[in-house]
Structure 1
Amino acid sequence: MLLQNKVAIISGASRGIGRSAALTLAEQGASLVIIGTKVHLLEEVADRVKQMGKECVVYTGDVTDQSTAEEVVAKTMDRFGKIDILINNAGINMRSSTLDMEIDDWKRVLDINLNGNLYFSKVVLPVMIKQRSGKIVNVSSSTAKSGHKNATPAYGASKAGVDYLTKHLALEMAKHNIYVNGVSPGPIETDMIKQWTSEYREKVLANIPLNKLGTPKNIADVILFLSSSMSDFITGETINVNGGTYIN
């Protein structure tokens, strides 16, 4: 197993990419601490993980509150004594133009998508520095790189911030043997796209060279790669997983 005896913290783990990442990492041997706001969905994930014979601790909290990160890390250390992997996945999107967007919505999206990543990283990094090891994976979006008028500008701006934070932390933490990378999903079959009309879905598919939407498991597999020893000469990168819709 790629992650035997490893301990991973995953935010936004109740559904979609976070849920799939939790199950994928557990299948590869990791014990988990999963965070979200919907306890019944988190408990469903935890039950699946426990059926695999791995430990899974559920924590309900808001990633925009710095104390959430502090409490999660403290409880993880009490339970496991180490933190090997941090997956910053919690995020939201809204659909509005710049002129229609409320300023409070701008602040909320940036607070969850970007500030939450910073809060968790700042609390986890001292643990990893002491261990002289660790992997952090930040979930971004192709919207950060190419723009998308169907999403609120706050979403793209927040994910562009995630991309820069990934690079900056990677440079700072390399001397401590800590790897910081990201994954940049394109169109993925998650709850976020339930807002799409059938006409819009067909339009999206027509612009994907592989002519299909991605799945949460597609992203989870890249998260696994970046969390494991397979990526031990990669840091500061954000990997595109989008069916060819954005290539660089």
Structure 2
Amino acid sequence: MDIANKNIVITGASAGIGAALALELASKVKTLILIARRKELLDKISQKIIAINSSVKVIIFPSDITDEKCQQEIIDRLEEQKITIDILINNAGVGDEKYFHESDLMKLYSIIDLNIKSVVSFTHLVLREMMQSPKGKGIVFMGSGAGIAWMPGSAVYSASKHFITGFTMNLKAELKPYGIDIVLVTPGPVDSEFDKNAGIDGGMKGGPSQNTRISSEECAADIVTQLEKNKSLILPGRKLRRLMNLYINFPWFLREKLLLSDGKKMFNQKNKKS
């Protein structure tokens, strides 16, 4: 994907991978449009970006991306400034780790709202503009290793990322003939605010081993490197990449066997504590 001198939107840009991506892209792009709820953090990121590259234009939107009115306001304001979106990075997301039957239903709804509904509605808005001149445009979807594998204890989160995987691949088929690049990024464990926001101490217990964990900065640098190499599936981190490339090719019965083994471990750990 050609990112040089482009106008790039990043959702969930105030911290974690989103903020790290903004800083990593600062020296390469024309405009960075950053969306997140916390204005004070967006202001700090903006200052850091300008320190890296004083010529880059930074526009911040302290907005709730799950609010469709806010989404439309963002598009309208960019149109007023005659800024066309070249690349959209759908990064905002949240998780949870708890047995489904013990989970708070409102929290599960919030995962669906942010990880699925907001991605669908905002992508739809942005695409309508992109289709006016599609060639050279691109959309990056932040999926997860949990959207390729399954993760007991994170049923709705994992399912939301499986939605992103399916959504991404179908859009890739639809939009490739128009010249729009579609990329799926599937991180594993990353040091960011994700664990804190999900209420997970020490990272998710299911999924890849914690020895595949990388920093947000490492993750962002690898994503940008792989984008520039025109990769359409990005597995950030060398250890995770080796592991997931093996897993993707496992037969269904073996994947199911590993899943049931993880479920049994969770059950035994839970009952041991109680």
TM-score by length of 1: 0.85
Which deviates further from its counterpart, 178-187 or 102-111?
A: 102-111
Q: CA contact under 8 A between 1:8 and 1:33: conserved in structure 2?
A: yes
Alignment of 1:52-201 (within 5 A): 52-53=53-54, 54-133=56-135, 134-150=137-153, 152-194=154-196, 197=201
Shift of 1:227: 5.0
Q: CA contact under 8 A between 1:189 and 1:216: conserved in structure 2?
A: yes
Letter in 2 for 1:10: I
Distance (whole Å) between structure 2 residues aligned to residue 62 and residue 197 of structure 1? 26
Identity over the aligned pairs, expressed in percent? Answer: 24
Partner of 1:36: 36
Shift of 1:94: 1.7
Partner of 2:46: 46
Q: Deviations over 1:6-57 (max 9, x none)?
A: 1001000000000011111112133111000111011111111122211111
Report the aligned-residue RMSD: 2.5
Q: Deviations over 1:58-90 (max 9, x none)?
A: 101112122222221222233243111100001
Runs of at least 5 residues in structure 2 that lack an aligned partner in the other structure = 249-274
Residue number among 231, 240, 243 corresponding to 2:235 in the alignment: 240
Count of equivalent residues: 237
Distance (whole Å) between structure 2 residues aligned to residue 119 and residue 196 of structure 1? 28
Distance (whole Å) between structure 2 residues aligned to residue 128 and residue 85 of structure 1? 9
Larger Rg: 2
Change (3 A) 1:95 1:207: closer
Shift of 1:207: 3.1
Q: Which aligned runs of 4 or more in structure 1 are off by greater than 3 angstroms?
A: 193-198, 225-228
Distance (whole Å) between structure 2 residues aligned to residue 226 and residue 170 of structure 1? 17
Letter in 2 for 1:93: G
Q: Deviations over 1:209-235 (max 9, x none)?
A: xx452121233234424655x41xx5x
Q: CA contact under 8 A between 1:183 and 1:222: conserved in structure 2?
A: no
Shift of 1:92: 0.8
Runs of at least 5 residues in structure 1 that lack an aligned partner in the other structure = none
Shift of 1:137: 0.3
